[in-house]
């Protein structure tokens, strides 16, 4: 199904309790704006795994709605069957991708919502409350994105060049983005920025998604190869770097798309501040450091046969981690919906995000 929109929604719930999840197929961008209608939980799992929907916050929202879809078949029957199905589908959805903590955060939140109603509400009431909860997760994400943008915009000056890696815009969230929210909010406040977008190999999220989003919103953007980042810094074109994150440990180490660590090292070498923008739901205070963050390993064919064309010899060994971890010592500040965390220390993180993370 295709739709035309100036500001397309990354995902949306269509209908009531018996409705479905509609989401942009991001694997088809930027040349084709196509939507996938998920009417069963297997479709949601596949959409997350295959990166049709991606970005930690958006994955969390999609997973919450996936729970609602899975429980549609539990309209009648015993309460025990509904909760058994809930356990089954949350475990199933959690297996789709290992690194983005928002996925597990959203699924745990849905389970807690249902458990609070066990023995107190009918099955139909539980299903309605779960849909309400999923919608609340989406609405809160929208509000968090806007707040991140406002806080982050204050860190940038008019006329600056800024660099970003991967896609942390509206396509990665329910609305406005995290890293890109900083640019959008700065532009709305009257600041003129020039954004340099890394292409982000091997799946080119920066080329396909970030440059497309920035163009859609009228932001001045230049696409560069990943290997050009050092050169634009050396030439003085970049005065700040802003990226998103998929999981942030208690000490501030941040996992993001592969290549982010290298960008942070380059920024440090050129004395350029490196910022990470992420909501409180992306923090995992149960992990002492980034060494404990699970790193997803993806299919070798993403490297050897990128977008269907073979670019490597048959049988060559491939190492294809989807993420790397930037140490807190390289991060100037963490930009959250609750404020800016600077310096990036365990104590300051606990103070700002607290036990909610």
> pTM for the complete prediction?
0.90
Average of pLDDT values for 88-107?
94
Kindly report the number of other CB atoms within 10 A of residue 269's CB atom: 11
**Segments of the chain assigned to CATH 3.40.50.10470:** 148-356
E strand intervals along 158-236? 161-164, 194-198, 220-224
The CATH number given to 11-145 is 1.20.120.420
Domain 148-356 CATH class label: alpha beta
The residues with which 325 forms a beta bridge, in sequence order, are 255
**Segments of the chain assigned to CATH 1.20.120.420:** 11-145
- pLDDT tens column, 20-72: 999 999 999 999 999 999 999 999 999 999 999 998 899 999 999 999 999 99
Q: Which residues are catalytic?
A: 246
* pLDDT of 248 strictly over 80: yes
* pLDDT of 115 strictly over 80: yes
Q: Can you tell me the distance from the alpha carbon of 284 to that of 287, in angstroms, rounded to the nearest whole number?
A: 6
- pLDDT tens column, 185-231: 999 999 999 999 999 999 999 999 999 999 999 999 999 999 999 99
Q: Can you tell me the distance from the alpha carbon of 301 to that of 320, in angstroms, rounded to the nearest whole number?
A: 9
Question: What does the pLDDT read at residue 1?
Answer: 38
> How many CA atoms lie less than 13 Å away from 62 in the CB half-sphere?
39
């Amino acid at each position: 199904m295709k739709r035309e929109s100036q500001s397309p929604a990354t995902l949306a719930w269509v209908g009531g309790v018996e409705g479905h999840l509609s989401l942009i197929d991001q694997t088809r961008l930027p040349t084709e704006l196509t939507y996938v209608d998920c009417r069963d939980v297997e479709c949601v799992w596949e959409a997350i795994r295959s990166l049709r929907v991606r970005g930690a916050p958006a994955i969390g929202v999609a997973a919450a709605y996936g729970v609602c879809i899975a429980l549609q078949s539990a309209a009648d029957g015993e309460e025990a069957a509904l909760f058994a199905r809930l356990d089954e589908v949350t475990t199933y959805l959690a297996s789709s991708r290992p690194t983005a903590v928002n996925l597990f955060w959203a699924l745990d939140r849905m389970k807690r919502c249902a458990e609070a109603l066990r023995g107190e509400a009918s099955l139909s009431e539980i299903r309605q409350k779960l849909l309400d909860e999923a919608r609340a997760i989406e609405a809160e994400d929208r509000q968090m994105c806007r707040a991140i943008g406002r806080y982050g915009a204050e860190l940038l000056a008019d006329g600056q060049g800024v660099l970003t890696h991967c896609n942390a815009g509206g396509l990665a969230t329910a609305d406005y983005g995290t890293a890109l929210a900083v640019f959008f909010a700065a532009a709305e406040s009257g600041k003129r920025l020039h954004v340099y977008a890394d292409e982000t190999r091997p799946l080119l999220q920066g080329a396909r998604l970030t440059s497309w989003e920035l163009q859609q919103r009228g932001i001045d953007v230049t696409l560069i190869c990943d290997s050009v980042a050092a050169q634009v810094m050396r030439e003085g074109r970049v005065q700040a770097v802003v990226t998103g994150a998929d999981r942030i440990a208690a000490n501030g180490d941040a996992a993001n798309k592969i290549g982010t660590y290298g960008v942070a090292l380059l920024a440090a070498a050129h004395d350029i501040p490196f910022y990470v923008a992420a909501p409180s739901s992306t923090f995992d205070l149960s992990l002492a450091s980034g060494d404990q963050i699970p790193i997803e390993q993806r299919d070798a064919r993403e490297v050897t046969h990128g977008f269907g064309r073979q670019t490597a010899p048959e049988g060559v060994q491939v190492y294809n981690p989807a993420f790397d971890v930037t140490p807190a010592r390289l991060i100037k500040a963490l930009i959250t919906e609750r404020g800016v965390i600077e310096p990036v220390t365990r104590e300051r993180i606990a103070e700002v995000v607290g036990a909610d993370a």
